[in-house]
Amino acid sequence: MTGYLIRRLGQAVLVVAGVIVLTFAIMRLVPGDPAVAYAGPKASAAELAAARARFGLDDPLWVQLWNYVRDLLSGEWGTSLHTRQPVASDLTTVFPASLELVGAALIVAVAAGVPLGVLAARYKGKFPDFSVRLSSMLAVSVPVFWLALAVQTVFASNLGWFPVAGEYDATLDTTSPLRVYTNITAVDALFTGNWPMLTSTLEHLVLPALVVAAYPAGVIAQMTRAALIEEAGQDHARMARALGFGETAVLTRFSLRPAAGPVLSLIALVFAYAIVNGFLVEAVFNWPGLGRYAADSIRSLDTPAIAGVTLVVALLYVLANLVVDLLQSLLDPRVRKAG
C-alpha cells in the first residue's frame, strides 16, 4: 500500500508540474506585448522598457518559467487586470461560491441518479428502464447554457417562483450582514444562525443547482444501472436469489455495495467536470463564482486571472483523480498491484 501511495503521489506531482508548464506556455502565446497591456497604448519607450524589466520579459524563457513557478509557490498569482486585486485573493472569494453551487448540484444528482439507476436495473429492458435511459441520455445531451436560459425564463421571469439571478438578496447585506468564515454563504449562514440569509441563498440556489445537476445525474444513473446489472450477474447475486431473496433485495442489499466503487469514483470525476460546466450556468444566473470571474476575465483579456482560473481547476482535477485512485485502492486491493 505504501509503495502504491508513493508512486501515485509522485505521479500527481509530475502532472502538477506539467500543468504549470502548460499554463505558462499558453499564456506566453498571447499575441501582443504584455508590457503594452500593462503600461497602456500611449506609454513612452522608457515606460515600456520599465514595464518589461518589471515583469522580467527580457529574461530568457526558462528564467521566466522559474520565476513563475517560484511566484506561484509563494502565493503570488499576479494581479488581475479587471478587478485590480491580487488573483489569489480574488480566487479565494469566487471559488467557494462555485463550490456551493456544484456541491448542491451533486447532492441533487446523487439523490436522483442512484435511485433512477437502481430502478432501471431492476426493470431492465422494461418501460422504467427505457424511460430512465432516455431521460439520462437527454440530460447529458442538453446544452447546459440553453437549459439554464430556459429554466430561468420559465420559472423565474415568467412564473416568478424563484429569484432570477444572484446568490442572495442584496438588501440582506445591510439588514442581516453575514459573518464570513468559509466564504460559502449557505454554510456560513447556517453556522452563524443567520436564517434570512440562509433562506435567501437556498432560494437562489434551486434553479442553477438543478441545471448543473442535470449532466451528473444522467451520468450517475447510467453508471449505477450498468454497475448493478454487472453485479447482479455475479455468483453472490445468484446465491442470494437461490436463497429466495427477491430481485429488488438482490439489487439493493447485495449489489449496491460492491457497485459503489465505480460509482463513487465517477462522482469525484464528475465533480471536477461540473465545476467547469457550472461556468456557463453561473454566467446565466449571475452567480458570483469562478465561472462569472472567468467570463469577466475573458471579456477584458485578463491573462493573469485566466491563468489563475485554469490552474485552480486543473489542480482540482488532479486532486479529484488522486482521490479516486486512492479510494479505489482502498476498496479493491487488485488496483494496488496493477499500479
CB contact set of 189 (below 8 Å; sequence gap of 6+) = 178, 195, 197, 198, 201
| C-alpha to C-alpha distances, 6 to 87, 156, 322, 326, nearest whole angstrom | 32, 51, 12, 11
Task: Confirm or reject binding of residue 244 to other proteins (CB under 8 A).
Answer: no
Q: Using CB under 8 A, count the residues that bind other proteins.
A: 60
Task: Confirm or reject binding of residue 326 to other proteins (CB under 8 A).
Answer: no
Task: Confirm or reject binding of residue 36 to other proteins (CB under 8 A).
Answer: no
Residue with smaller CB distance to other proteins, 63 or 150: 150
Task: Confirm or reject binding of residue 83 to other proteins (CB under 8 A).
Answer: no
**Residue 98 to residue 287: CA distance in whole angstroms:** 8
- The minimum distance between CB 126 and other proteins, in angstroms, equals 12
Stretch that binds other proteins, among 9-17, 35-43, 69-77, 239-247 (CB under 8 A): 9-17
Residue with smaller CB distance to other proteins, 88 or 301: 301
- The minimum distance between CB 1 and other proteins, in angstroms, equals 22
Residue carrying the nine cell digits 499564456: 27
Nearest in space to 119 (alpha carbons), one of 110, 128, 130: 128
Q: Which of 214, 318, 324, 336 binds other proteins (CB under 8 A)?
A: 318
**Residue 116 to residue 224: CA distance in whole angstroms:** 8
Window 263 to 292, contacts with other proteins (CB under 8 A): 272-273, 275-277, 279-280, 283-284
Give the dihedral of Cα atoms 135, 137, 142, 148; nearest 10 deg: 40
Window 142 to 161, contacts with other proteins (CB under 8 A): 142-147, 149-150, 152-153, 157-158
- The minimum distance between CB 196 and other proteins, in angstroms, equals 29
- The minimum distance between CB 317 and other proteins, in angstroms, equals 5
Nearest in space to 60 (alpha carbons), one of 96, 28, 83, 17: 28
**Burial category of 151 from C-beta neighbours within 10 Å (exposed 0-12, middle 13-18, buried 19 and up):** buried
Q: Which of 6, 9, 30, 53 binds other proteins (CB under 8 A)?
A: 30
- DSSP designation for 159: S
Please say whether the beta carbons of 77 and 91 come within 8 A: yes
Residue with smaller CB distance to other proteins, 42 or 337: 337
Residue with smaller CB distance to other proteins, 97 or 121: 121
Phi, psi of 86 (to 5 degrees): -60, 135
**Residue 62 to residue 76: CA distance in whole angstroms:** 18
**Residue 329 to residue 324: CA distance in whole angstroms:** 9
- The minimum distance between CB 29 and other proteins, in angstroms, equals 5
**Residue 218 to residue 273: CA distance in whole angstroms:** 13
Q: Which of 317, 324, 329, 336 binds other proteins (CB under 8 A)?
A: 317
Residues in the site for other proteins, rule: CB under 8 A?
Answer: 11, 14-15, 18-19, 21-23, 26-27, 29-31, 124-125, 133-134, 137-138, 140-147, 149-150, 152-153, 157-158, 226, 229-230, 272-273, 275-277, 279-280, 283-284, 294-295, 298, 301, 303, 306-307, 309-310, 313-315, 317-318, 321
